[in-house]
């Protein structure tokens, strides 16, 4: 295993806020409403809150695991399960991050093809995104942190502008009756919402690159709270603007809301919004790919610049092979299921296993 990073390669604890937001506040913001409304209708905003609270608990578990292990997840896996089983678990986590990157790249390409350039070839967009990600990741972790910070500065104003557009068209009566669904239905809907908040698991790999890392936990929770509140606001605005049937028929409700923006100097505001969201897409893919290459370096001593090319090639090829809307939907559904197992089964399992093993060591 590699030695811990030197101080000059680390970043201050508060940057964890931007890293968490970058991982969680991505493409899901355009399309998360439909699947939740399908289950709990006008109570969808409650499911967003439940999902946000559960993510805070999972994030707390992650910090407990990392604080006790005082290293990244590949080292902790090895200490808990031995070289081979621990290595397999680390490799599975890396494949999961690679699949998340593929999902983001293909979904954003589809967004561009449907809304802006219908004739755009998938390989062309996959190539552009791969080159951008390569340029940033090859610069190292501190460059990625800078991109996440700039992305927050550029995309947050667009978000708040978007919230103001439909105010005069919204109807508060769409939110009633409140709590009209069972607890089981709300929990089922919150599982769907949790997929939109995934990606923060990359902290398993960048933890050692944070100065005084345990102190960064509060910034991680602040970032999760920001993402949750942002999704909550969008959900409430969507529920009050659309009818239930309109939301069920719309694939990208947030973009439909942006369509009502009317400026004398800009006819299609959603075009600008989609273009600006490239920042958000690139930094989330950078995080996934960097974490994957860092994990491979820990496991196999592979140079990151070599594994980076392999992972980006796999991402681009997989994105090109996904041609139809059904195939993209299947990938996103699969990743939604896998991410649920990662967050609500794998992470609690590691947390309790490490805790029990630590107590057994102390008593023996």
pLDDT mean over 109-115: 92
d(CA 205, CA 224) in angstroms, rounded, equals: 18
Band (264; pLDDT cuts 50, 70, 90): low
- Which of 56-65, 275-284, 286-295 bottoms out in mean pLDDT, i.e. has the lowest? 275-284
Q: Determine the pLDDT at residue 345.
A: 96
Cβ pair 284, 23 in contact under 8 A: yes
Q: What angle do CA 281, 284, 290 make, to 5 degrees?
A: 130
Alpha-helical regions (H) of 301-324:
304-321
Higher pLDDT, 58 or 361: 58
Q: Determine the pLDDT at residue 306.
A: 94
Hey, what long-range contacts does 357-360 have (CB within 8 A, 24 or more apart)?
357/80, 358/68
Domain range for residue 285? Answer: 7-359
**Between 73-81 and 347-363, two packed helices, what is the crossing angle to 10 degrees?**
50
Residue 364 lies in a domain: no
The per-residue pLDDT for range 142-191, each reduced to its tens digit, is 999 999 999 898 888 777 776 677 777 888 888 888 888 899 999 988 88
Distances (CA, A) of 255 to 186, 268, 303, 341: 25, 11, 40, 30
User: Within 13 Å and on the Cβ side, how many CA atoms surround 272?
Assistant: 17
Mean model confidence pLDDT for the chain = 90
Beta bridge partners of 263: 266
Considering its fold, how many domains does the chain have in total?
A: 1
If we measure between CA atoms, which residue out of 46, 53, 56, 54 comes closest to residue 232? 46
Higher pLDDT, 166 or 59: 59
Residue 2 lies in a domain: no
Q: Determine the pLDDT at residue 266.
A: 63
Residue 1 lies in a domain: no
Residue written as token pair 């690679």: 98
Higher pLDDT, 258 or 341: 341
Q: Determine the pLDDT at residue 350.
A: 97
Q: Quick one: DSSP state of residue 171?
A: -
d(CA 27, CA 231) in angstroms, rounded, equals: 12
d(CA 235, CA 168) in angstroms, rounded, equals: 17
Residue 17 lies in a domain: yes
Higher pLDDT, 94 or 34: 94
Tokens of 323: 């041609």
pLDDT mean over 91-96: 96
- Which of 219-223, 280-284, 294-298 bottoms out in mean pLDDT, i.e. has the lowest? 280-284
Q: Determine the pLDDT at residue 73.
A: 96
User: Which of 116-125, 217-226, 268-277 is predicted most confidently?
Assistant: 217-226
pLDDT mean over 221-242: 93
Asked if the peptide bond before residue 177 counts as cis, ω within 30 degrees of 0, the response is yes
pLDDT mean over 265-288: 82
- CATH value at residue 227: 1.20.1740.10
Band (256; pLDDT cuts 50, 70, 90): confident
Residue 224 lies in a domain: yes
pLDDT beyond 70 at 267: no
Cβ pair 99, 338 in contact under 8 A: yes
End-to-end CA distance of the chain: 27
Beta bridge partners of 266: 263
Burial 273-305 (b: 16+ CB within 10 A, else e): bbeebbbbbbbbbbbbbbbbbbbbbbbeeeebe
- Which of 55-69, 241-255, 285-299 bottoms out in mean pLDDT, i.e. has the lowest? 241-255
Band (265; pLDDT cuts 50, 70, 90): low
Band (26; pLDDT cuts 50, 70, 90): confident
Higher pLDDT, 308 or 248: 308
pLDDT beyond 90 at 257: no
pLDDT beyond 80 at 54: yes
pLDDT beyond 70 at 263: no
């Amino acid at each position: 295993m590699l030695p811990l990073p030197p101080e000059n390669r680390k970043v201050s604890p508060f940057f964890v806020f931007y890293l968490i937001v970058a991982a969680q506040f991505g493409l899901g913001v355009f399309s998360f409403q439909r699947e939740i409304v399908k289950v709990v209708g006008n109570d969808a905003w409650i499911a967003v809150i439940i999902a946000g609270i559960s993510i805070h608990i999972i994030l707390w578990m992650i910090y407990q695991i990392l604080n006790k292990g005082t290293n990244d997840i590949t080292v902790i896996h090895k200490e808990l399960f031995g070289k081979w089983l621990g290595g397999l678990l680390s490799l599975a986590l890396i494949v999961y991050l690679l699949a998340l990157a593929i999902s983001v790249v293909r979904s954003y390409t589809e967004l561009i093809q449907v809304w802006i350039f219908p004739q755009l070839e998938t390989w062309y967009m996959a190539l552009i995104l791969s080159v951008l990600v390569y340029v940033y990741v090859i610069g190292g972790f501190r460059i990625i942190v800078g991109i996440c910070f700039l992305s927050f500065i550029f995309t947050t104003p667009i978000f708040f502008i978007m919230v103001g557009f439909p105010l005069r068209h919204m109807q508060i009566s769409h939110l009633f009756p409140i709590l009209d669904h069972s607890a089981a239905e709300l929990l089922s809907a919150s599982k769907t919402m949790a997929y939109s908040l995934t990606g923060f698991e990359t902290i398993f790999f960048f933890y050692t690159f944070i100065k005084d890392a345990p102190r960064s936990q509060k910034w991680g929770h602040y970032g999760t709270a920001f993402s949750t509140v942002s999704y909550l606001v969008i959900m409430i605005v969507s529920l009050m603007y659309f009818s239930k049937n309109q939301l069920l028929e719309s694939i990208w409700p947030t973009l439909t809301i942006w369509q009502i923006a009317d400026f004398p100097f800009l006819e299609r505001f959603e075009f600008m919004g989609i273009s600006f969201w490239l920042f958000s897409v690139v930094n989330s893919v950078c995080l996934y790919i960097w974490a994957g290459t860092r994990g491979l370096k820990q496991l196999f001593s592979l140079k990151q610049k070599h594994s980076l090319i392999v992972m980006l090639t796999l991402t681009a090829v997989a994105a090109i092979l996904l041609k139809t809307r059904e195939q993209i939907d299947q990938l996103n559904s699969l990743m939604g299921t896998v991410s649920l197992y990662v967050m609500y089964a794998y992470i609690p399992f590691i947390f309790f296993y490490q805790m029990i093993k630590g107590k057994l060591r102390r008593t023996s």
